Structure 1
C-alpha cells in the first residue's frame, strides 16, 4: 500500500537554494569553492581542473551523552596561555566519512581533514546547526601540503 499524501510533511525553503562561489589560484592551480545551503544539507565543493572526485559527509547532529564529546580541550584554560585557541582546531567529536571516490591515499586523508575543519567552522559560526555537511573535492595531487591546506580552508571560509 502506497503512503498517502498526509504521511509527508513539507518544509518550505527558499528557492533557489542560497549559494556562494569564489575562486583563487593555489600553487598555480585555479581553485573554485562553492557552498549551497539546502534545507537538510550544506554542500561545499572545492574543484580544480573542473573535476569532483571525492565526496565526504560530516554529520553535525550528534547525540552526545558525554560532555567530553562536545567540549574542546582548551575551554578551561586561561587566555594568556600559549595553547592554541580552540576555534582553530577541528572539533574532535566530528567524523568525516568518504561516501564516494577518494582512491588517492594522501588526498583521502587531506579530504577528510578538510571536511572536518569545514564542519567545525560551520558549528563555530552556528552551534545550533544540525544539517549534514557534504564536501565534494576534486584536488590536484600537489595539494597535500600544510600551506595548501591552509589556503583551501581559507577559500572555503570565504563561501560559508
Structure 2
C-alpha cells in the first residue's frame, strides 16, 4: 500500500536542544524541538508548564522585506520591537492576565528573532510557558530571550 501523496516523512525523534540557567534566582530550563512544520519551545521554571501559545509565521509578510526601520524621530530603537504583523494566540491555559501578556510578548519577540535570522521561515512557533511569576523585571525578560535564542 502506497503512502498518501501529501504525507511528509521526517526524522524521529525530532532534533532538540535544551539549555538551563538561573534567572532571577529561579532555575530555568528551555527546550527547543524542531519539526518540519513547527518549532516548539518550552520555558519551564521549577518544573512548571501551564500556558501554551502559538505564532504563525506564514500568514503574511511585513513591509520592507521583514525588517523594521527605526525612526530617527523616536528614542526607541524599533529594531528591538516584535514585528507588528505577528500575533500570539493562547492555545491552552492563559487564565491569568499577567502571564497572558508576558507569554504573548515572549512569543512574538522570539518569532521576530526567527524571522530576522531567516526571513523565509514558514514554521509555526509554539511556546510552552511555565514561569514562577510574571513580573520578573526587564533584566530577567532579556535573560529569558537570550536563553531561548541559545536553543534556536
TM over 0.5, yes or no?
yes
> Using a 3 Å threshold, how does the CA distance of structure 1 residues 123 and 68 change in structure 2: closer, same or farther?
closer
Note if 1:29 corresponds to 2:26: yes
Alpha-carbon distance, 1:82 to partner: 6.1
Q: Measure the CA separation in 2 of the matches of 1:132 and 1:9.
A: 19
Counterpart of 1:96 in structure 2 is: 88
TM-score computed with the length of structure 1 as normaliser: 0.83
Note if 1:19 corresponds to 2:16: yes
Q: What stretches of structure 1 of length at least 5 have no aligned partner?
A: none
Counterpart of 1:59 in structure 2 is: 56
TM-score computed with the length of structure 2 as normaliser: 0.87
Alpha-carbon distance, 1:91 to partner: 1.0
Counterpart mapping for 1:57-96 below 5 A: 57-64=54-61, 67=63, 70-74=66-70, 84=77, 86=79, 88-96=80-88
> Using a 3 Å threshold, how does the CA distance of structure 1 residues 129 and 143 change in structure 2: closer, same or farther?
same
Counterpart of 2:43 in structure 1 is: 46
Flag the structure with larger Rg.
1
Q: Measure the CA separation in 2 of the matches of 1:61 and 1:148.
A: 30
Aligned length: 151
Counterpart mapping for 1:107-118 below 5 A: 107-118=99-110
Checking the alignment, whether the CA contact within 8 Å between 1:107 and 1:144 is kept in structure 2 is: no
Checking the alignment, whether the CA contact within 8 Å between 1:54 and 1:101 is kept in structure 2 is: yes
* SS state at 1:141 partner: coil
Q: Measure the CA separation in 2 of the matches of 1:132 and 1:121.
A: 13
Q: What stretches of structure 2 of length at least 5 have no aligned partner?
A: none
Q: Measure the CA separation in 2 of the matches of 1:7 and 1:142.
A: 45
